[in-house]
Amino acid sequence: MLQSFTEFKVKFNEVDALGIVWHGHYIRFFEDGREAFGEKHGLAYMDIYRHGYLAPVVNLHCDYKKSLEYGDTAIIETTFVDNPAAKIMFRYKIYLASKKEIIAEGSSVQVFLDAKAKQLQLIAPEFFIDWKNRQQF
């Protein structure tokens, strides 16, 4: 499995009047996990763009198990999911760092678009195939 782990502390601007993280921020936490994964493993958004592609999110799912609160420290586990299609797929788990309990789980799917023509790529770009081979997928 190819993973990254990103620790963060819940900030005041991420909570509601009750001190609980607003549900939409979990999607941003997933994004933070994707960015950290990309930087760690050579699949960052700018790496993709330098090869002439964009990678928009086309599917996103989040299951909320518990709530994060102001001041909590959490960890985002981001796992690459190998597949034969021209897609980048990730699974996410957000843990409360102090107890290792799962707060939320989710997944995302990104596709490849030619950066100039904005055309969907039905075949995985060569750079992505090379990246997967280097990661031994």
> How do residues 25-60 score in pLDDT, each as one tens digit?
999 999 999 999 999 999 999 999 999 999 999 999
Query: How many domains is the chain built from?
Result: 1
- Tell me the chain's radius of gyration from C-alpha atoms: 16
The proportion of the chain whose per-residue pLDDT surpasses 70, expressed as a percent, equals 100
The proportion of the chain whose per-residue pLDDT surpasses 90, expressed as a percent, equals 98
| pLDDT on residue 100 | 86
37-41: long-range contacts, CB 8 A cutoff, minimum separation 24: 37/2, 37/3, 37/4, 37/78, 37/80, 37/90, 40/4, 41/2, 41/4, 41/80, 41/135
What's the whole-number mean pLDDT along residues 128-132? Answer: 97
Domain of 10, in residue numbers: 3-134
How many other C-beta atoms lie within 10 A of the C-beta of residue 132? Answer: 17
What's the whole-number mean pLDDT along residues 2-18? Answer: 97
What's the whole-number mean pLDDT along residues 102-118? Answer: 97
Residue 115, pLDDT above cutoff 90? yes
CATH number, domain at 52? 3.10.129.10
| pLDDT on residue 45 | 95
Q: Tell me how far CA of residue 34 lies from CA of 18, 40, 106, 129, in angstroms.
A: 29, 10, 12, 19
| pLDDT on residue 125 | 97
pTM (2 d.p.): 0.94
Nearest Cα to Cα of residue 60 among 4, 14, 105, 107: 107
What is the identity of the amino acid at 33? G
**Which residue has tokens 């009750």?**
18
Structural tokens at position 38:
């990309």
